Amino acid sequence: MLRVVEWMIEERNLTVYVEPSVLEDDKLKSLVENSGNQAILTLLHPWIQGRDIIDFIVTLGGDGTVLYAS
């Protein structure tokens, strides 16, 4: 996930929204600490349903994730 997010931000200059729970996930925090790119957390934005309009969605997960995103 981090590699995809880094690529989207650094190479494509995209704004990346994630589920608010993702920002609080201990696994993500651990991955970020191990990657040495702590700044990535400041570049992720929490997606708020009904407020944010999304043009493009990438889902990393199973069928339930895809259904929820759509």
The pLDDT tens digits of the residues spanning 11-68 come to 999 999 888 888 888 888 888 888 877 788 888 888 888 888 888 888 777 777 677 7
Cβ contact 37:2 at 8 Å: yes
Strand partners, 16: 44
Cβ contact 19:47 at 8 Å: yes
d(C-alpha 41, C-alpha 39), whole Å: 5
The domain in which residue 16 lies consists of 2-69
Say which residue, 49 or 70, is predicted with more confidence. 49
pTM of the prediction? 0.72
Domain count for the chain: 1
Alpha-helical (H) ranges within the chain are 2-6, 20-23, 26-35, 40-43, 63-69
